[in-house]
Amino acid sequence: MNTRYKITRLDQEGNPLLSLEECQRFFAGEPDFVYHDSFGASQDGVHMKIKGHFFMWQVENAQIPFRFFDGEIYVAISHPAIMDKTIDIARRLEAVYVEG
């Protein structure tokens, strides 16, 4: 089972501070990320499409979605390499990563 983490930077009242524009600028400078306005998945003949802001990390033959939502970035951790990338992104955005 995957554990979900979020990358967040909070103000003194605990409100998320990351903006979509800041994230778009950040990920635009990352050669292994591509922005998509939706994410699709298929299983057992059923296809699901979720609209939103997704920064897709291309690593080997897999695409890992980092989703921006309400001032935070969410990612499911299924492999140590994804955790390492999450920690790096949080550090570079001067944010923290927390389970949730």
Mean pLDDT by 10 residues, the chain (100 residues): 91 95 97 95 91 94 94 94 96 95
How far is residue 28's CA from residue 35's CA, in Å, rounded to a whole number? Answer: 8
**Residue 50 corresponds to which tokens in the numbers above?**
């979720």
The predicted structure's pLDDT at residue 1: 65
**Alpha helices for 1-100 (secondary structure H):** 20-28, 80-92
Question: What is the dihedral angle through the alpha carbons of 9, 69, 91, 82, rounded to the nearest 10 degrees?
Answer: 150
